[in-house]
Structure 1
């Protein structure tokens, strides 16, 4: 049977969380919302509308949401030509692909963002497919994006491993019945990732690659 390696992108394979934080903070500031950056950081990984609900509250005037999201997208786009991938991100995806895993990206990124992120990672030959929040009714921490990835891979939840950097990633994977692996490179403490359901935590893609033979990926037989 096939196996699926599911990966979040921002903060997991690419060192882009703080670029998102700055872009959201500035878009919010320009609209008159004073939200501390640490609060924005904790919300990264949620789809745009859910991120704004998390930061500004659901019982609010939503008429400015499109402008806020557009502001973030415009600011973040200025980094597209220099988005940094984490060390060994491409090698990790390549190693899993060569070992017979279907490698899928599970992300809230827009199509333009995703194109730039994939170019930054540089592992096109290893990537089987992508599941985005546009494909489902609810984004992370709902299980919908992970389940969508499983459907694309045609793999049951017990034959998959999900790697992410946020509590939203861990919760989405657990709710979909998939083993969740946390990475610290997104800036979220390991204890928080474990509390959200991570079965193992590594520093970054390079650390996971070095430990691959003893990681949760080794729990799923070929």
Structure 2
């Protein structure tokens, strides 16, 4: 990630990856469940799923408690990465995901991916998504010291293209995406494809909740993505 020296014109549409553009949230849940079991932590999948969207550090705090010993954290995270990597070749974008990015770019938005996932995971998902022709920049969890729901990853994504929060809209699928966007000072559109209930996304502050990427694509001109600020 290389920030620009000065702000550049044009609205920025930030997109989360996992659960928003590509159908991965439940794969991450399973991989974390298996990784935790390797280290004798037996955590219900429902608790893990609720934490998906956080970075590994915050996710482990959420499912194991922040007052525990942290000696195993790196090993558990590495195990998750190894287990999840087994799915790389079969990852599937949601219907309409790549077309949504292209339609967003066609309306004058600069498209940036704002993900807290590991760099290798982001690269694998981007390859399956197949929309690099309109993606101007991307982040990964390694770009910041604090991951979602902290606003750092959203702010880092803006920095990659020299933009301000007042010129941006974020699209995500978890309450952590919505909270990160709100704390960064921008609206967030929520998608239901991550498995989070509509009411939870609305309660977190999503300005609009759509069923999926295809629904957002079909209604884009009636949403905050209709055209960027001038």
**When the two structures are superposed, what TM-score results if normalisation uses the length of structure 2?**
0.94
Q: Deviations over 1:30-54 (max 9, x none)?
A: 2111110010000001110110011
Kindly indicate whether residue 139 of structure 2 is the aligned counterpart of residue 131 of structure 1.
Answer: yes
Unaligned runs of 5+ in 2: 1-8
**1:153-192 map, 5 Å:** 153-192=161-200
4+ residue runs over 6 A deviation: none
User: Is the Cα contact below 8 Å between 2:98 and 2:129 reproduced in 1?
Assistant: yes
Determine which structure has the larger helix proportion and give its number: 1
**1:109-124 map, 5 Å:** 109-124=117-132
2:108 and 2:225 mapped to 1: Cα distance?
A: 12
Per the alignment, residue 113 of structure 2 pairs with 105
Q: Deviations over 1:92-117 (max 9, x none)?
A: 00111122211000111212111110
Per the alignment, residue 217 of structure 1 pairs with 225
Per the alignment, residue 10 of structure 2 pairs with 2
1:113 and 1:70 mapped to 2: Cα distance?
A: 12
Give how far 1:219 is off: 6.5
**1:57-136 map, 5 Å:** 57-136=65-144
Q: 1:198 aligns with which of 198, 206, 209?
A: 206
Q: Helix, strand or coil: the match of 1:87?
A: coil
Give how far 1:137 is off: 2.2
1:133 and 1:114 mapped to 2: Cα distance?
A: 9
**When the two structures are superposed, what TM-score results if normalisation uses the length of structure 1?**
0.97
User: What is the alpha-carbon root mean square deviation over aligned residues?
Assistant: 1.1
How many residues align? The count is 222
User: Is the Cα contact below 8 Å between 2:10 and 2:228 reproduced in 1?
Assistant: no
